[in-house]
Structure 1
């Protein structure tokens, strides 16, 4: 994958974020997109080799649309400033997300502002076995890779049905459960970047499996 070409295309697109420009440069976009899909195909194979529970996700299924959804976000530009994709994708939520963009590049996973039903399931799991989740979060290698979970809005008191003195109230108040590992373009350009992706994926597996199990039980 020519990541240098990918970033160059995205930077130029952001300076010409309109349909006429995209139509005139459609072949270049397709070449970059297909190159990214091919790289995702290779990562799909490599990740399946290190995780017996990996959910096969072909590159064409993994990649997200480059168009912003203007119906819900009318003030955003027509096209995104990044290529995003979700591997190990049983559904669009809880996958292993990879984003390469003009302003930031990262790998992430978990649930960001999940629906009320999913959030309730996660809170029920924490109520039942929050110690296991905290053990994952406090593991030295996990904290080194991701730090803390991404900050988001939280309840000021306890969720309905939970005592404010609950020993896991710090987690129960959360409305999102997600982590991310940021990378630089320099790291992406290195020959061992695929290996880095694999290592980040492996470190994230227990976190993602805990949450994914919580919403299926």
Structure 2
């Protein structure tokens, strides 16, 4: 039944554990109803409910219960790891509702961990350069962003940060700005307690996180707007 999110089923994580153990199309097809009832359909409800709540909060993020979810199947064509199924299920809500935008909300329910991101992940070169130039040219604005995130109990993730300063920014000497310019992504993350995925309270938790991450959305969107206008 489609509708408001009421929580993932009690067998959602056990299903992922069993799927990861079997890694078999035959097993998956035999248990497809369980996947749909415990994971996929509730995830669709979560996307719909968050879309409604994000609209009310004017966050500029939306999704579609079918198009926003990533497939449970892995693309193994060019992978050394030939296991056919992921150990997680995930979805993206974005400014236009597609998976092609930047400045997105990403939610991940998996065996290793459950989390949500507000992310500018692998932005195209022109946008990444513009973000780095914005840090260098308007350091006070970037530091205000960092301070706002810290006040909201968030900080930029450092995963994938370059070890060396990119060409053209060698003149930057302030350690905090150098570290920021070395970012390949601009992401803040909220860790979800797996025990908390089974109730409707997860929606409030994720809306609260996104509101706390809004300074990053605003900063990135302002820069992106200038890139697109140019």
- Where on the TM-score scale, by shorter chain, does this alignment land: which range? 0.7 to 0.9
Q: 188, 192, 199: which one pairs with 2:208?
A: 199
Conserved 8 A contact 1:149-1:177: yes
How far residue 148 of structure 1 moved from its aligned partner, in angstroms, is 4.0
Q: Distance in 2 between matches of 1:128 and 1:200?
A: 29
Asked if 1:153 corresponds to 2:165, the answer is no
Cα RMSD over matched residues? 2.2
Query: Which residue number corresponds to residue 4 of structure 2?
Result: none
Structure 2 counterpart of 1:43:
50
Instruction: List structure 1 segments (4+ residues) > 6 angstroms apart after TM superposition.
Output: none
Name the structure 2 match of 1:141. Answer: 151
Are 2:36 and 1:30 aligned? yes
TM-score by length of 2: 0.81
Partner of 1:107: 116
Alignment partner, residue 87 of structure 1 = 93
Number of residue pairs the alignment of both structures matches: 213
Q: Pick closer, same or farther for the CA change 1:23–1:92 going to 2, 3 Å.
A: farther
1:186 Cα offset (Å): 2.2
SS of 1:123's partner is helix
1:171 aligns with 2:180: yes
Instruction: Tell me which of 2, 5, 10 is aligned to 2:11.
Output: 5
Q: Is the 8 Å Cα contact of residues 86 and 92 (structure 1) preserved in structure 2?
A: no
Partner Cα distance (1:130, 1:60) in 2: 41
Moved more, 8-17 or 204-213: 204-213
Give 1:175-194 correspondences, 5 Å limit.
Answer: 175-194=184-203
Aligned equivalents of 1:27, 1:213: Cα separation in 2:
44
> Structure 2: any 5+ residue segments left out of the alignment?
1-6
Further displaced range: 76-85 or 53-62: 53-62
TM-score when normalising by structure 1: 0.86
Superposed displacement of residue 76, structure 1 = 5.0
Q: Is residue 2:69 matched to residue 1:56?
A: no
* Alignment CA distance shift 1:54-1:112 (3 Å): closer
Q: Structure 1 residues 126-135 or 201-210, which shifts more? A: 126-135
- Confirm or deny: 8 A CA contact 1:68 1:79 kept in the other structure: yes
Which consecutive unaligned segments of at least 5 residues does structure 1 have? none
Identify if the C-alpha distance between structure 1 residues 44 and 12 changes in structure 2 by more than 3 Å, giving closer, same or farther: same
Conservation of the 8 A alpha-carbon contact between 2:106 and 2:119? no
